[in-house]
Amino acid sequence: MLEKLFSLGYSKTFAERYYQLWGERALAIAEAMEKPLPRCFRVNTLRIEVPKLTKLLNKKGFQFKRVPWAREGFCLTREPFSITSTPEYLSGLLYIQEASSMYPPVALDPKPGETVADMAVAPGGKTSYLAQLMENEGIIYAFDVGEERLKETRLNLSRLGVTNTVLFHRSSLYIDELGVEFDKILLDAPCTGSGTIHKNPERKANRTMEDVKFCQGLQMKLLEKGLSVLKKGGILVYSTCSLEPEENEFVIQWVLDNFNVELLPLRYGELALTKPFGIELSEEIAKARRFYPDRHGTSGFFVAKIKKL
């Protein structure tokens, strides 16, 4: 079993960790990540209604199935030519977005008129979905440190007709300097990306436990900042595309131990791990969710919904 993980290119450290976490299933997860994901898209309801766009695409020979957790989301089952070369794509009627990354905005459920923060915006997929769910009403404060990625974000938001978002070329570690209290916050946190091997195969061998610990430290700092500017009763959704419990369940356990919050249950995905590596965590952690490539046909993904008390 470990030999098979080695043969796929995983380092000894991570092969052994994954076997500890999932046993024989670790190989199924790893093999699923060797295959490309289905191409998925989200209908941009700021510009067109869902039935209208699906009809237009069907006429051109595109076939797709609905993403269970996103009423505007679909995954292609037949793509007669690249959907990104269609007038529908070019005019911002749809956005290419991986199915699992549609879930955090849906889980956050922002309403028109609310004050929302997106603490790591680029390239804008989740932000534009937030704006769509808010019907372009209210305001989104969106942060990112990457200048080039912010340029891409600006272009995406413009093409999609998003008008309620203010972009900041700055780390959201400085979010408190705005002096704003937020109804809802999305933190799709910087992470090791171990759930995205299908597009980053080099991460099988070149990640170390130091990388995991570095990301965990940053994730905790960002969560602390986010919770400090969240209104009482406000919601923060935390997500990563990492498989590592240190970046997911252990971070959420730290939040439960150090802040006056509760976890809210999520409907989709598998229950988060409550005994990773034999370490007993709060049963509350099972309210968070994991998505796996072998069962959900997505990247490896983690989502938790936190309410400030």
Determine the Cα–Cα distance for residues 17 and 22; give it in Å rounded to an integer. 9
Give the residue ranges of DSSP H helices in 124-272.
Answer: 125-133, 147-160, 203-206, 209-228, 249-258
Residue 211 assigned ligand-binding role: no
Contact present, 29 and 194 (Cβ < 8 Å)? no
**CA proximity to 206, closest of 13, 4, 5, 3:** 13
Sign of the torsion formed by the C-alpha atoms of 218, 224, 228 and 229? positive
Catalytic residue among 40, 191, 215, 241: 241
Contact present, 231 and 307 (Cβ < 8 Å)? no
Q: Write the Ramachandran bin of 124: left for phi over 0, alpha for psi from -120 to 50, otherwise beta.
A: left
Q: Which residues of 39-49 are buried (b: 16+ CB within 10 A; e: fewer)?
A: bbbbbbbbbbe
**CA proximity to 45, closest of 37, 54, 36:** 54
Is residue 215 flagged as an active site residue?
Answer: no
Which residues belong to the active site?
241
Residue set of the binding site for S-adenosyl-L-methionine: 144, 188
Residue set of the binding site: 144, 188
